[in-house]
Structure 1
Amino acid sequence: MANVGGFFKNVMSEMRKVSWPKRKELTRYTVIVLATVVLMAVFFAIVDLGISELFRLYLDL
Structure 2
Amino acid sequence: MAQKSTTPKVEEKQSLTKYFRGVKREFKRVVWPTKKQLFQYSLIVIFVSIVTALFLYAVDFVFSHIMGLIFGL
Unaligned runs of 5+ in 1: none
- Opposite residue 71 of structure 2, the aligned amino acid is L
The normalised TM-score by structure 1 is 0.92
The structure with the largest helix share of the pair is: 1
2:22 alignment counterpart: 10
- Opposite residue 21 of structure 2, the aligned amino acid is K
Structure 1 segment 1-40 matched on structure 2, within 5 A = 1-40=13-52
The normalised TM-score by structure 2 is 0.78
Structure 1's consecutive aligned runs of 4 or more residues displaced over 6 angstroms after TM superposition are none
1:55 alignment counterpart: 67
- Opposite residue 69 of structure 2, the aligned amino acid is L
Higher alpha-carbon Rg: 2
Give identity over the alignment, percent: 28
Q: CA RMSD in A?
A: 0.7
Q: Using CA pairs below 8 Å that are at least 6 residues apart, which structure has the higher relative contact order?
A: 2
Following superposition, the deviation at residue 59 of structure 1 comes to: 1.3
